[in-house]
Amino acid sequence: MNAYVFPGQGSQKPGMGLDLYENYDEAKIYFNKANEVLDFNITGLMFEGSSEDLKKTSVTQPAIFIHSVIHSLISKNFNPQAAAGHSLGEFSALSACKAISFEEGLKLVSIRANAMQAACEKNPGSMAAILGVDDSIIESVCSNIKEIIQPANYNCPGQLVISGETDAIKAACEELTKLGAKRAIILPVNGAFHSELMSSAAEELEHAINQTEFNNPICPIYQNYNAKPETNKNSIKKNLLLQLTNPVLWTQSINRMIKDGYNNFFELGPGNTLQGLIRKIDSEVASEKLEI
């Protein structure tokens, strides 16, 4: 069975979406609509902006959402039996699978991005990618540090991102290196995504979600918070909020999807990050870019 996956922050790149805009009239309509919804020329940044222009969370998240959802809307090959999205990508999956409209989804993503950026300014933190050590060891080290620190992204076996207060992240990296981690890389971010330090962003997002019309999606969405398939709009809304302050269970989600019979994965949007992660989770399943 086929499943469709949508990337999160970090998959952006200069020129993203320009090929869709130039080659598909339907895509052009949606790109122009995105500028109207956001009330600024985000397509100009997507098509002509530099890597630095695209790094700002308030630009990155809407840009990836726009590219990913338009990819699904214009593709003749998008016929989902299940879907999942990595962090921000969960909103793309929900919009592509008719739980929220393109316009309402974009508004939510913009609010989420701005709220997360504000939370970063209010409570600066750090994140680090830990490579080559068991998840249980990372979890144990985090639990023994008094400051705020926790697992943030279970990306694939041997790759877990931690998030929290800067001093705590540095201490964890030092300890995990001693315990055998192949690498402990401080990431170039100014905030602690998917941690308690995002609680103020969750409060703002909750209000926006409650003001947004949701439908039950046309297929199960495997959500980051619990790695389970959800089709009930109320459960989906609750899990979207919990996602902000809890880890992205990507490895667990993909394993659950495979267990449930999905063995062909198609990635939409910019980049191919998720294809690589899925192959590391299970090299037996197929993973490729969705063709238009």
Residue 181: how many other CB atoms lie within 10 Å:
24
Residue 54 contacts residue 60 (beta carbons within 8 Å): yes
Give the closest residue to 175 by CA, choosing from 140, 147, 148.
140
Q: Per the residue annotation, which of 67, 71, 86, 194 is the catalytic one?
A: 194
Q: Where are the alpha helices (DSSP H) in 179-249?
A: 199-210, 233-245
Residue 16 contacts residue 67 (beta carbons within 8 Å): yes
Q: Per the residue annotation, which of 11, 58, 75, 87 is the catalytic one?
A: 87
Residue the block writes with tokens 């880890």: 247
Give the closest residue to 96 by CA, choosing from 3, 171, 193.
3
CB-based burial, 258-280: b 16+ in 10 Å, e otherwise: beeebeebbbbbbbebbbebbeb
DSSP, collapsed to helix, strand or coil, labels residue 150 as strand
Element (H, E) at 176: helix 166-178
- Residue 71 bears catalytic tag: no
- Residue 194 bears catalytic tag: yes
Q: What residues are annotated to the active site?
A: 87, 194
